[in-house]
Amino acid sequence: AFNADVVPQAPEDALFGLMAAYRRDTDPKKVDLGIGAYRDNNAKPWVLPVVKKADELLRKDPDLNHEYLPIAGLAAFTSASQKLILGDESPAILEKRATSVQTISGTGALHLGALFLSKFYHTKEPRTVYFSDPTWPNHFQVFSNVHLPYKTYPYFKKETKALDFDGMISTLEGAEPGSIIVLHACAHNPTGVDPTQDQWKKIADVIREKKHFPFFDTAYQGFASGDLAKDGWAIRYFVEQGFELCIAQSYAKNFGLYGERAGCFHFVTASAADAESTVQRVASQLAILQRSEISNPPAYGARIAATVLNDKELFADWEADLKTMSGRIIDMRKALRSKLEELGTPGTWNHITDQIGMFSYTGLSEKQVLKLREDSHVYMTKNGRISMAGLNTNNVEYFAKAVDKAVR
């Protein structure tokens, strides 16, 4: 018989534990820099105005019902998602070399891709997955849950608080040929450090030479720079270069649809005479996996996103909302850096504005992070990562002073 006594206690999820500690803190000055969700200048969750509009439109539709979606999800959503990430005129779309499945947000897309690769991308041994060091911690769990072994490639250089490009390249060069390389498409979490376009080209060269398989994780398109094409550049470049690859796409951050779990998994095959039939076979297997895991995906978030993505005017509204979010974050980067420099806080702070997206890797040590929590009620992860979205014009000076105190 099953003996539940053998089940060991698992550690609490670090981030969700941090959120709980923040909620328990009764100090009115407390600052939450842990959570990876956008906040407005009043530290409140923000429903994008375009999402409100789409929601109103949907609610007016007398034919709207709660039937199941197809196994692969809402077609209007998956086809618009392909165009969004690959570009309207992508050869992969025109040549029918891409197949897409609606998933439980980005995490579900990563899982479906990992599961698919664990079943079908084999030699004698399962392929090794390479993650950046550091990476979004859930990557480790998602891929090891489907029994793929993993390693890491260097990514962040402590001394410069920038990309460890040489370390990354030499590890990819030394990796077993055919390894799966997980790449953050933009706004790398947790560091906020992205390769330049020239660096991406070199990364692509090594991946091609070593016959590795690229797996892109895109959770911040449009949210990073405010420009959808710019944030999608790396993926589009790899597709242009003829790679076969996977993409896990999330609409949590760029639509503010966190809890609605809207996302998409894409498989793009290389240009070949039988590409269309390859994609059809892949799609048929993805459908089986999806059916056994979630049967079919949740409808609401996908309907909202599809309404916006397929309407010119709403799309333009969305782009403006993306500019609002990314613009406020960029402003907070500037404000934080200049306040720290004004205070003469020991260290260099240019990395705050060099980094991009939701997060900044401050370079603060674990000891300093804990001191910030104890002395100043500032909550951030132990690795020194802050969510820029938690800063606003009311608390950025307070935070800069708290950092100054913790560093001295």
- Residues in contact with ligand PLP by the rule CB under 6 A: 36, 105-107, 136, 184, 189, 217, 219, 250, 252, 258, 263
User: CB-wise, 98 or 262, nearer to ligand PLP?
Assistant: 262
Tell me which H or E stretch contains 266. strand 262-268
Q: Which two tokens stand for residue 64?
A: 């709207």
Give catalytic residue positions: 136, 217, 253
Question: What are residue 101's phi and psi, to 5 degrees?
Answer: -130, 130
Tell me which H or E stretch contains 183. strand 180-184
Least distance from ligand PLP to the Cβ atom of residue 29, Å: 27
User: CB-wise, 171 or 250, nearer to ligand PLP?
Assistant: 250
Question: Among residues 384, 386, 396, which one has the least CA distance to residue 336?
Answer: 396
Residue whose entry in the numeric block shows the structure tokens 């991009």: 356
* DSSP class of 176: P
HSE of 242 in the Cβ direction (CA atoms, 13 Å)?
6
Least distance from ligand PLP to the Cβ atom of residue 20, Å: 18
User: CB-wise, 349 or 359, nearer to ligand PLP?
Assistant: 359
In angstroms, the CA 94 to CA 86 distance is 11
In angstroms, the CA 145 to CA 155 distance is 24
Question: What are residue 18's phi and psi, to 5 degrees?
Answer: -65, -40
Give every strand in the sheet of 213-218, ordered side by side.
98-104, 262-268, 245-250, 213-218, 180-184, 129-133, 150-154
* DSSP class of 102: E
User: CB-wise, 362 or 376, nearer to ligand PLP?
Assistant: 362
Q: Are 309 and 80 in contact (CB under 8 A)?
A: yes
Least distance from ligand PLP to the Cβ atom of residue 262, Å: 8
User: CB-wise, 231 or 340, nearer to ligand PLP?
Assistant: 231
Least distance from ligand PLP to the Cβ atom of residue 119, Å: 21
Longest dimension (CA), the chain: 66
Least distance from ligand PLP to the Cβ atom of residue 118, Å: 18
